[in-house]
Amino acid sequence: MRQEVIANNIANVNTPNFKKSNVEFEELLAREIYGEEPNGKLNLARTHDKHLPYKPLKFHAQPTIVQDNSTTMRVDDNNVDIDIEMATLAKNQIYYNTIVTEFGGHVSKLKAAITSNGQ
């Protein structure tokens, strides 16, 4: 979703009166995990009946697209800064590549554990 929003911003860099959009998700997820005041403490997760009782985590955070109407970069009321958008695009691609690499490594470890026959 973020990739599409950034691409749309870049495609409309010369469109008069266009206002850029951003995807908000990380802060919403942090509030879901840590509560209203994120303090770096994760709630307990009960994995065995003899563990301390806990309140189950229910995540309802959904990414949202928010239009930025607060700024103007040019006289035609367009607020897209191509340099910022290209940097954001590169950052998003790095995040994506990192997640794909880590997930691939995790799957490889699971596959090795399954096919090792307990050795």
Q: Tell me what the mean pLDDT of segment 2-14 comes to.
A: 96
Beta strands, E only, 1-119: 21-24, 64-67
Can you give the residue range of the structural domain that contains 22?
Answer: 2-115
Taking each helix axis as running N to C, give the angle between helix 82-115 and helix 2-11, from 0 to 180 degrees, rounded to the nearest 10.
160
| Single pTM value for the model | 0.69
13 alpha-carbon distance from chain centroid: 23
pLDDT value at 66 more than 90? yes
Q: How many domains does the chain have?
A: 1
Q: What is the pLDDT of residue 45?
A: 64
| pLDDT tens figures, 87-107 | 999 999 999 999 999 999 999
